[in-house]
Amino acid sequence: MEVRNCDENEYSIEVEDVYKHYRIYKDKGSQLKEKLLFWSRNKYTENNVLKGISLKVKKGEAVGFVGHNGCGKSTLLKLLSRISYPDKGIITTRGRISGLIELGAGFHPDMTGRENIYTNASIYGLCKKEIDRRLDRIIEFSGLGEFIDAPVRTYSSGMYMRLGFSVAINVDADILLIDEILAVGDGEFQAKCLNALKEIKSRGTTIVIVSHSLNQIEEICERSYWIQNGEICMEGEPREVHKAYLEATVH
């Protein structure tokens, strides 16, 4: 991954001092009544999830995020993919982003696998020509064989995931965001996914992985971030970070 040109575009992702809170409404059901009668905002408490996160990811680099349930890993990924926006701070991304957060989005059970490839890929922002060009590659990678022309409702859940994953990974994004989805399919397919990720990375794609299976991160990433209490509590070589993280978890 020697994609080091020294201009400012060296970084694929720059996150500067980002804050994010969620509102937790006490009573969402009575919105109309409250708004009309009291002309007041709903009562809510604030949950500060991210409190000043800064990080930079170079082009072609792969990094992992680890941390306890609810520490804000998925929140951070959502900010990177622009599903939601930070309260404060700036996030800069360079290149097309593809998020592997939900596989098989928009699948219609009555349509065939092939038809669903078109729907699903279009959600990643590909146009018809771009999908045509990738179609064979997607079908080949999914390993579904002749099932590709059967309605998706006849698929097993593993087959469904395989198809979703094949589409997502063949989008050819510049930045790939992955949230806990590497555990799909059987052992063989998982190995295939890991290899595919390594290959994609060697082509210069930036990868961000959130996972509780630390081994996967260690296999692909050169850096890991441990997030705790809304801040980055440790950053560095995955094996070292994970060791510290596991030790802290046990004690």
If one counts every other C-beta atom within 10 angstroms of the C-beta of residue 14, the result is 16
Q: Which is nearer to Mg ion, 74 or 112 (CB)?
A: 74
List the single partner that 159 binds among Mg ion, ligand ATP, other proteins, none, CB under 5 to 8 Å by kind.
none
Burial of residue 138 (number of CB atoms within 10 Å: 0-12, 13-18, 19+): buried
User: By C-alpha distance, which of 165, 209, 207 is closest to 185?
Assistant: 165
Radius of gyration of the chain (CA): 20
Distance (Å, rounded) from C-alpha 170 to C-alpha 196?
10
Distance (Å, rounded) from C-alpha 146 to C-alpha 130?
23
Least separation in angstroms between residue 209's CB and ligand ATP is: 12
What would the two tokens of residue 93 be? 């991304």
Least separation in angstroms between residue 24's CB and ligand ATP is: 5
Least separation in angstroms between residue 115's CB and ligand ATP is: 32
Q: What are phi and psi of 143, to 5 degrees?
A: 65, 25
Q: Which is nearer to other proteins, 118 or 218 (CB)?
A: 118
**Binding region for Mg ion (CB under 5 A):** 74
Tell which one of 79, 148, 221, 241 touches other proteins (CB under 8 A): 79
Q: Is 94 in the site for other proteins (CB under 8 A)?
A: yes
Query: Which residues here bind other proteins, judged by CB under 8 A?
Result: 22-23, 31-32, 78-79, 81-86, 89-97, 99, 101-102, 105-106, 108, 110-111, 118-119, 121-128, 130-131, 172, 174, 203-205
Query: Which residues here bind ligand ATP, judged by CB under 6 A?
Result: 22, 24, 47, 49, 67, 69-75
